[in-house]
Structure 1
Amino acid sequence: MTECSVMVEHAAQTVSGYVSVDLAARVAGISLAEMQRIAARFAKGSTEPWCGAVLIVRTERVLGCRHRDIAVASLAEWMREALATNRFRFRLAAEQVEPGAEMRPDDFLLLHRAVASGACPANQLQHGLSALCAGGPLLAATRENFDCLMDHFYGWGFRDDALSGISADYLDFLDRSRRQLGMTDRYYGAVLADLGGVDLPRRLDGAGFVRVADYMLRLGLPWTLPERAGMDRAAAGIINEARHQLGVSQADHEMDLITIAGGVLRLRDLDTHGFYRLHAAYLKAGYLMREPAPPVAGEPGYITQPQANLIWRLWQENGGVDGDTSAAGLDRWLGFAGGLASLTAAGAGKLIGEWLSPRIERRTAVADALRVGHRAGWETPICAERAAEAIERSEAATAPEFS
């Protein structure tokens, strides 16, 4: 039995409560009118099985309208299993969530649309859903976990009117600014439509926000964009490592900050939402998170942690020895009793220099050739392409060989 089938079987055992006639019709693949006739028959006391099951139906009148629901436990087994799949379980959760709960029905419907969009890579979807529930039932999902998962969906490429492209502080900035500038609703709507291509601020994406905010700032606002606490070094290091691993240029990285991370102009201005979104986008693009560099004591005269981080990155990038990129493999290759931690600062600097000097020399040569090409009248795109190819060839040729 596969892991997926085991999870469905477990979920089918925990699906309970009542399901609407409308959703039951979707699961059964029949029309709503036909399902209503079936539910009405059981509501009147019929005991003749339908699809091998005798349905338990409750009837409730709300503001003069009659509503019927069906007990999930009374449905045929194949329908309970279907309700436990990603195709239907978020709709069921939207129907069953209690009023005043942390999660709202619209949240589960948004999650349903996100999963149905196929934006999430298959190898990351189940992990994301498991993190949402934290090992518990779907209805026990927290707002924090839900927001994190939806940020990942945004980074994976999912877009929806209910999922804002910018964070709350930037939305508040726009609202305060339009009031400060005395913009009428018509004027503000025209600005949003012309510069952002939307009719409501929450529908702005990062690029649209930058254009609208820049326009407002040029009108003479007495404040600038909201100040944000800088990203911690670990988070910034993850983004920088992903950039380096994927070969993302500075220009493309700046565009990613704007379009994916919510209109951010600098890495240090990323908030939690922007980090999750950008991180998810890089994961989808093929970024593989590496193990962190081995910690070193940093005693005076010995290797520092930044030196260890750089050596570790070069060791990982170039595949170690015979594919062994572990810390133990690096220590064996160094040949010292104490491994990496026993290197002196001077020895570490010499090792880094030996590994990086050929790359630096080749990059300098390529840059010189590029400048010569400009003077010779090359077209800029051709120059860039030739330079990129030359750098790629040179770095492959000058990568350190561990033996």
Structure 2
Amino acid sequence: MTDRTPMRFAGLFAGCALLAVATPAAARTYGFALSELTTAFYRGSEKVDCPEGRSPTTRDAFLLTQPPAERARLLKPEHAEELEKKYKIDYVFGPEGKDICTDADFFDTPDRPPQKLNKSKVAYGFDLDGATPGKTAPGTCSHDSFVSPSGEKGIDNQLFRVIGCNTFWRGAENAQHQPEHNWVENPTVVLVSGVDNWQDDPEVEVLIAPAADRLTLDVKQQITPGASLTLSDSGKGRTIMKGQIKGGLLTTDPRDLVIPYNWLGSTGGELILRHFRLRVTRTPEGLLKGEAGGYRPIDNAIAVPRIGGPGVANTAGLECASVRRALRLMADGDRDPQTGQCTSLSSSLNFAATPAFIFEKGVLLNSAEQ
């Protein structure tokens, strides 16, 4: 966030009367409840995307650390119980009870079995760094870009490069729609302000902020349209972005997004997307739908398995330490000027928001009819 609050959202901090003064009479404010912000997963031919196969599971990763003769011995049926103990306990846990998921950074060492990277040339996403061919943009690290399914070149999506051949993410047929971020448990408001025309408008503003209420679901387990939400009065996690609408497409300038998120029931977590931006349209039903992009810090990108702990490694089979090592080596954003290492990964997310009535201190912020 910048030091000075943009005028159209001044009312969110200093009284809604200021919002009314700053916004032209013809302009409207539209309210939504965030309903989707999940990793966008392009599912091409697995033979093309993963020519070397999928990344090793915890069991396979453990076996790769063993000499060939010992590996062959452990794979015999009569040694199945011994193998299970070795990879589920001996391999997963280390000194002082640390484990390879909760403490993935501790086990992020050069001897970790490597992840098998996605070799696809196609991925969802944005040209986040704006680099020219053959050159590395300031503040980033060199990497190969993708082409989007629609043909846009220069797509940055290093997170997909790391996870695209891992069964934990690729395994389910609907992996791209898995509820990675449960916005029912973590209600979040989206306000689009200063809209004169949803077809073309050179200047609008978008607010994303936590809500104080819990959302309700319909019989199909979808967020109920027309819900009433109250902005959290803590002021924490509010991000305001300048935007524009052209040909019905709303795009925003990049801003850092940090919103409260309770991972898997834990408290005090955050979802972090640096240089976050949107590219969405408003559907005939009044929803916002499209995509988001930004850079995920290395450890925030694996927050779910870190919170899940050793069970993720020995039950779900995710070798978290190997994943973290790959994330660190493939990181392309937020280059540390002292170490020269990048600390975040470009990523693409599906974005959707459902119409809602947004209140602050009992005052309706968006237009009553939208």
TM-score, normalised relative to structure 1:
0.19
Judging by fraction of residues, say which structure has more helix: 1
User: Larger relative contact order (C-alpha < 8 A, sep ≥ 6)?
Assistant: 2
The structure with more strand, counted as a fraction of residues:
2
TM-score when scaled to structure 2?
0.20
